[in-house]
A and B are shown apart, each in its own frame.
Chain A
Amino acid sequence: MDVSTKCLLQRLIRRIPSHMLKTTLDQWSRLTAAQIQSVDFTESKRTLTEKLLAICEENECSVSQIAELEMIHMIENPNVGMWYAFQLLEPQDDACTLELIQFKEQFKSHLHQLLRSVSIKIKRHTDDAVWIRIAWGDGISRPNHLKPTYVVHYLQTSYVFVTSVTSKLKPLLSQALVLSTKHHGIKDANLSGRNLMAIRDLLMNQYQQVFPSKYPSLLAEENQTVSNPRIEKEQAQMAADRHKMACEAFGDGTLPQLQSAVYKLETKFKDPTNKTMTDREGTFKCVVKFASTNILESLRHCASSGIASIPVAPLLSSVTLKARNRFVITDSDPGPSSQIHQAQNNLTTDS
């Protein structure tokens, strides 16, 4: 094992938390049972790292195998770093019959055509997600495994989730994705977050949404909390209505975990009391960012407690309705209300 491989392995073992180390190594299945038994997983990270390094040297693990280990860990623990969502556009007629093996071959061949030295690993997860790990190299040097890009795609949907990729390499990745999934273009879905499952649930409508219904479900009756009967809430009906409208706008139960909502304003400043700003020519550029550990829960709480007005403003409810958390707001002329414009990042192929 050369220096860079050792370095990669060291960094990886340091990153995996001790309690997950054993299960991840078992899944990797490159170490014999005896070797795993010989390691005491309760020792300090440093001793563990040294021991495992020695074992892997013994087994002569290659870079590819260590990359596999990293991928296994990433699939179990995807909430490290930011994930960005993209949407594939204009599927061809045979896009819906795309098979996994076809996709794998096509993606690998397309990306290799565009960039000679890349290292690609594709794996199918149990929930039908296709995980791709890409280590980029430029024409001369070998692929850099210390800064890989991960891509997650569900076949037959048009969404792709990508971790960090440099702006130089992004067009190449987009091209390979578009060609191998048999679409005609790809655009930025303007949705990003640290939690992969959250942005996936938001895009695929898999969180608990609330709709008005003629036959409310029986479970709703069980919800009556047995609180002290001597305490009566004034305005209980109004509070219930507010809660219902907040749930209709954002969802019920546990909401997907988004960390921020960013609104970029490019509008004209309008405040009759501030003449200097209003008289200025040109647009007033401003960025408003809401940040929280779970922004959707915060917004829902604002709406149901009355801090935000009801019915929920379309700028806030668009986060769940349009499944995005980056907006650009421009003025529509004429009129004082603003319109929401999409900031598109179109990349189309020539075929």
Chain B
Amino acid sequence: MERTAAKGVLSHLCLLEVQARSRRNQTQQQQQSRVKELKAQLEALIVRKERLKAEIQAHKELQKLRLSMDKQNAPEEDENMDDDSENSTLLRTMARHTQLKDLLYAHHLIGGYDIIRIRQGKGVCVSITTAYEAIYLDTYNLEINLKPKVRINRHNIPPFIPLNVLAEQTNVERDINGFLDTVTQHLNAFAGRKQQLKLVKHKSVEVMESNVLCSILVLLFTVPREKTAVLCTLEYNDHTRCLPTRVLFESEDKQLPDSPQWKKNCNLLMETPVHRALLIMRKAGNIV
């Protein structure tokens, strides 16, 4: 009994000693591996720092280059570059890239059309914004296939703007820019005429006739004192303009359209957008 007990205690003590020794080794090992880890992290951070430093340097050079490009507007100038030629061409290309991106963004801000590539370069989607009197109106989109042939795919342009006719007239296959410019003209003019019609309706003048293309407008005026009715027909036959091509007055009083006052009104309506012309005519006391 005693021997087993003493053996038990001794052996237990031996066990504990072994454990303690191994633990000491372990911590040493743990410490070593931890040190290795930290060293590796340190190296990685140093590499990153070098990379970021290089990026900052490149950006600084780019900015300098952009400044000189914007000022002189000549991308071939390289008086500021004193690096080796590879680096300088790369930086110059990058500077030109950012310059073009800014130009495209400026074009978008002033209401020009945007283009993006779709279907891996086989087509483009054009976004045309319309605006009238500094207010943005609707945006229209066109998807055009470029390969194998230039063809208009789908779009949300209303059908009374004759896209196919315009495409033929401007020869879209060879000059897509010309086609897009014409379409933009037509759409902006249409949006302008539509906006004028909306504003006229608000000004409590009776609109007798209009149509979806906003190419014809018939208004009914009343002369204040005599209460005679005057029918005014505005024809917008040039679909690229917001102003009428012909103004006609009809009235029961046959003398009225030939009077100098109304001849002046006729010229006014030919040269000023209709909603503003109405205000002027009202102020002058010609119409109620």
Partner of B157, one of A159, A205, A214: A205
Contact present for A205 and B212 (CB under 8 Å): no
Binary flags per residue of A95-135, CB closer than 8 Å to B gives 1, else 0? 01101100000000000000000000000100010000000
Contacting residues, chain A, for B241 (C-beta < 8 A): none
In Å, the complex CA distance between A155 and B218 comes to 15
User: Is there a chain A Cβ closer than 8 Å to B68's Cβ?
Assistant: no
B61 at the interface (CB under 8 A from A): no
Are A213 and B127 in contact (CB-based, < 8 A)? yes
Bound-state Cα–Cα, A213 to B117, Å? 10
The complex places the Cα of A118 from the Cα of B190 at a distance, in Å, of 38
The chain A residue sitting closest to B233, CB to CB, is A99
Asked if B114 and A156 sit within 8 Å, CB to CB, the answer is: no
Residues on A with C-beta less than 8 A from B210 are: 128
Q: How far, in Å, is B222 (CB) from chain A's closest CB? A: 21
Chain A residues whose C-beta falls within 8 Å of the C-beta of B154 in the assembled complex:
209, 321
Q: Which residues of A contact B216 (CB under 8 A)?
A: 97, 99
Q: Which residues of B contact A154 (CB under 8 A)?
A: 211-212
Q: Is the CB of B158 within 8 A of A100?
A: no
Known: A204-B158, A204-B159, A205-B159. A212 touches B125 (CB 8 A): yes
B77-112 interface code vs A (CB 8 A; 1 in, 0 out): 000000000000000000000000000000010000
User: Which residues of B lie under 8 Å from residue A213 when comparing CB positions?
Assistant: 114, 116, 125, 127, 141
- Establish whether residues A209 and B159, one from each chain, have CB atoms under 8 Å apart when the complex forms: no
A211 touches B156 (CB 8 A): yes
A259 surroundings in chain B (CB, below 8 A): none
Contact A97 B213 (CB under 8 A): no
Task: Tell yes or no: A206 within 8 A of B by CB.
Answer: yes
- A72–B209 Cα distance when bound, in Å, is 19
Q: How far is the CB of A247 from chain B (nearest CB, A)?
A: 13
B56 within 8 A of A: no
- The CA-CA distance from A155 to B114 in the complex, in Å, is 32
Q: A156 contacts B212, CB within 8 Å?
A: yes
Q: Which residue of A lies closest to B118 (CB)?
A: A212
Q: Is the CB–CB distance between A156 and B125 below 8 Å?
A: no
Given the known inter-chain contacts A97-B216, A209-B141, A215-B108, please indicate yes or no for A128 contacting B125, CB distance below 8 A: no
B151 interfacial by beta-carbon distance below 8 Å? no
User: How many cross-chain pairs have Cβ atoms below 8 Å apart between A and B?
Assistant: 64
Name the residue of chain B whose CB is nearest to the CB of A157: B160
> Would you call B215 an interface residue if the criterion is a C-beta within 8 Å of the partner chain's C-beta atoms?
yes
Q: Is the pair A206, B158 in contact by a Cβ cutoff of 8 Å?
A: yes
Which residues on the A side are within 8 Å of B158 (C-beta)?
204-206
| Cβ–Cβ contact B215 & A211, under 8 A | no
Q: How many residues from A make CB contacts under 8 Å with B?
A: 23
Residues of B within 8 A of A128 (CB): 210-212
Given contacts A128-B210, A214-B116, contact A97 B159 (CB under 8 A): no
The CA-CA distance from A86 to B215 in the complex, in Å, is 23
Docked CA distance A204–B216 (Å): 19
Q: Are A209 and B156 in contact (CB under 8 A)?
A: yes
Interface check A203, CB cutoff 8 A:
yes
Kindly list chain A residues whose C-beta atoms are within 8 Å of the C-beta of B159.
157-159, 203-205
Which B residues touch A204, using CB under 8 A? 158-159, 212
**Is the CB–CB distance between A96 and B108 below 8 Å?**
no
Complex Cα distance, B212 from A158, in Å, reads 12
Please state if B116 and A205 are interface contacts (CB–CB under 8 Å): no
Query: Within the assembled complex, what's the spacing in Å between the Cα atoms of A88 and B156?
Result: 20
Q: Contacts A124-B209, A213-B116, A215-B114; is A97 near B155 (CB within 8 Å)?
A: no
B115 CB, nearest partner CB in chain A, Å: 8
Please report the C-alpha to C-alpha distance between residue A147 and residue B46 in the assembled complex, in whole angstroms.
89
Residue of A with least CB distance to B213: A156
Shortest CB–CB separation between residue A349 and chain B, in angstroms? 21
Chain B residues, Cβ within 8 Å of A212: 116, 118, 125
Distance in angstroms between the alpha carbons of A205 and B237 in the assembled complex:
23
Using known A-B contacts A99-B216, A158-B159, A205-B157, determine if residue A211 contacts B211 with beta carbons closer than 8 Å: no
Least distance between B273 CB and chain A CB atoms (Å): 20
Q: Chain B's nearest CB lies how many Å from the CB of A184?
A: 15
Give the residues in chain B near A211, CB-CB below 8 Å.
Answer: 125, 127, 141, 143, 156
A304 to chain B, nearest CB (A): 19
Q: How far is the CA of A159 from the CA of B216 in the complex (A)?
A: 19
Q: Which of B118, B125, B160, B210 has the most chain A CB within a 10 Å cutoff? A: B160
Complex: how many Å from CA A84 to CA B128?
32
User: What is the bound-complex CA distance between A159 and B157, given in angstroms?
Assistant: 15
Assess whether B160 is in contact with A100, with CB atoms less than 8 Å apart. no
Q: Find chain A residues with CB under 8 A from B211 CB.
A: 100, 128, 154-156
A157-B159, A205-B157, A212-B118 are contacts. A97–B209 as well, Cβ < 8 Å?
no
B141 nearest CB neighbor, chain A only: A211
Kindly identify which residue among A100, A124, A205, A214 contacts B156, using a CB–CB cutoff of 8 Å.
A205
Beyond the given pairs A156-B212, A157-B160, 9 more chain A to chain B contacts, judged by CB atoms under 8 angstroms and listed by A's residue number, are: A96-B215, A96-B237, A155-B212, A157-B213, A204-B159, A206-B158, A213-B116, A213-B125, A213-B127
- What are 6 residue pairs bridging A and B, where the CB atoms are less than 8 Å apart in the complex? A96-B237, A157-B213, A205-B157, A211-B141, A213-B141, A214-B116
The 9 closest A-B pairs by CB, nearest first: A211-B141, A156-B213, A209-B156, A205-B156, A155-B211, A214-B116, A157-B160, A154-B212, A128-B212
Q: Which residues of B contact A (CB under 8 A)?
A: 108, 114, 116, 118, 125, 127, 141, 143, 154-160, 209-213, 215-216, 235, 237, 239
